[in-house]
Amino acid sequence: MADTRRIGIFGAGWVGLVTGGCFAELGHDVVVRDIVPERIEALRGGTLPFHEPDLPDVLARNAGRIHYTLDAEDLGATDVLFVCVQTPPTYSGDADLSYVWNALDQLPRVDRRQILAMKSTVPVGTGESVRAALEARGLVNVGYVSNPEFLAEGTAVRDFTNPDRLVLGAFADDDATVVEALYSGIEAPVVRTDVASAEMIKLAANAFLSTRISFINEIANVCELVGADVEDVAKGVGLDHRLGPHFFRAGVGWGGSCFGKDVSALKQLAGNSGYHFQLLAAVIEVNELQKRRVISKLEKHLGKLRGKTIAVLGLAFKPNTDDLRDAPSLVIASRLLAEGAIVRTWDPVADARGRLRGAQQCDSILDAVTGADAAVIVTEWPELRDLASAEVREAMARPLIVDGRNVLDPAKTRAAGFAYEGIGRGSSPFAALPETAEPAAEPPVRDSGPVEGGWENREVPPAETASARTTRKPR
């Protein structure tokens, strides 16, 4: 291991705690500063304020090398200061840098050289603005390195310790060398570049990941119309070495704390610079519509959703996290509530009680599906792989599963007595759902979505809806 350094962290969130814990594991001394007293109290008491596999162990193992504080002055004795505060979207879609600027305002004044390393995702040009602000305040001995973070929640510790690459953009090469040395012990290609390019690498990576998902979701939607199976299509396409299989699964759309805000921030950044980033506008629109397609899949079987009980299974934006930021579940559940449906939710770790007024959060899958007219898989938690059981079928009022993550086998699910709707995998004929209610005579109410006319190409053909003539199972 190289020299042990003293590392300061602004922000005890996902990125800050993973960064702090993993650097402590590499032997460095770490001070983590946050502004939320309860968060610091919890951490001092050994409690992680959110769910992230492996992180509690890393923090516990290195407790002797990590110090938690509310006082920014405690960061004064550190050599490298990582900024890991949130950069949420503003109403305009730009990144809100107020937390970053507040953190910089709280930089302790020191006589030695200190390096500020930006891990928060920020618009291109932020480093340049920070450098100017530091100079204006006479903090000429503070260096600046853009060191964007690529970890994903749910696998954050593994991602930090086995990254695909390290990106370092600096104004002074020596500063980048100091930050790179902190990672000694971690094997990864290193991209050394200028600050603006490092900032762009992070935004472009998230934009491209989101584009891949929106692309395969569009392919899935066409598969539904032409009788192809998107799972096989994605596999066949992804085996092309030029394309690869990752981030290529159809579903109810992407979400989470980063994609939405970062794609929007890049689109906005381009717009502010005089360029209309048309592709990203489509990527965002496709994703918004994708979440709402669940509603039409339900209506196809159940008719109007008013008074129907729908189990929303999985709330977190992905498995292995309790993060609900920008989770598709929130949009889907809110749309269902707006349609007048009775919504029962389940998630093993995420708690949406404060965000979904009117929905009932259940402790078990069985509880959520009991008496339900349909179950919608929104997050691919492993527990949901066994959803198509006799017990669940018996408990439901109608055995309809909308598999928003394609986790179930359609043939086996249908053989187990369920009507099955996946994403891009063909539909259950109505005859397979004997308990299906007679669909509403009038066309189902559609969500207008964010863009006019967006639904027209996505409607279930009326003929298919009208073909259902079955009886309703008594409650």
Ligand X SMILES: NC(=O)c1ccc[n+]([C@@H]2O[C@H](COP(=O)([O-])OP(=O)(O)OC[C@H]3O[C@@H](n4cnc5c(N)ncnc54)[C@H](O)[C@@H]3O)[C@@H](O)[C@H]2O)c1
- Structure token pair of residue 315: 């709330």
Q: Which is nearer to ligand X, 86 or 161 (CB)?
A: 86
Nearest distance in Å: CB 186, ligand X: 16
Three-state SS annotation for 400-459 = EEEECCCCCCHHHHHHCCCEEECCCCCECCHHHCCCCCCCCCCCCCCCCCCCCCCCHHHC
> Interface with ligand X by CB under 6 A: which residues?
10-16, 33-36, 39, 84-87, 99, 102-103, 106, 119-121, 149, 151-153, 257-258
Q: Which is nearer to ligand X, 106 or 296 (CB)?
A: 106
- Say which amino acid occupies 141: N
For residues 376 and 294, the answer to whether their CB atoms sit within 8 Å is: yes
Nearest distance in Å: CB 103, ligand X: 4
Coil, strand, or helix at residue 318?
coil
d(CA 121, CA 312): 31
Q: Which residue is nearest to ligand X (CB)?
A: 13
d(CA 82, CA 165): 18
Q: Which is nearer to ligand X, 163 or 439 (CB)?
A: 163
- Beta strand residue intervals within 314-399, DSSP E: 342-346, 360-362, 374-377
Residue 386 contacts by C-beta under 8 Å, 6 or more apart in sequence?
A: none
Q: Kind of pairing, strands 166-170 and 142-146? A: antiparallel
d(CA 267, CA 419): 40
Q: Which is nearer to ligand X, 122 or 289 (CB)?
A: 122
Q: Is 22 a catalytic residue?
A: no
Residue 192 contacts by C-beta under 8 Å, 6 or more apart in sequence?
A: 168, 169, 170, 173, 176, 180
Q: Which is nearer to ligand X, 34 or 447 (CB)?
A: 34
Of 22, 84, 223, 258, the catalytic one is 258
The DSSP bridge partners found for residue 114 are 142
Coil, strand, or helix at residue 34?
coil
Name the helix (H) or strand (E) containing 32: strand 29-33
Nearest distance in Å: CB 329, ligand X: 17
Name the helix (H) or strand (E) containing 153: none
- Say which amino acid occupies 464: E
Q: What's the alpha-carbon Rg for the chain, to the nearest Å?
A: 25
Q: Which is nearer to ligand X, 203 or 230 (CB)?
A: 203
Q: Which is nearer to ligand X, 94 or 373 (CB)?
A: 94
- Structure token pair of residue 224: 């539904």
List active site positions: 258
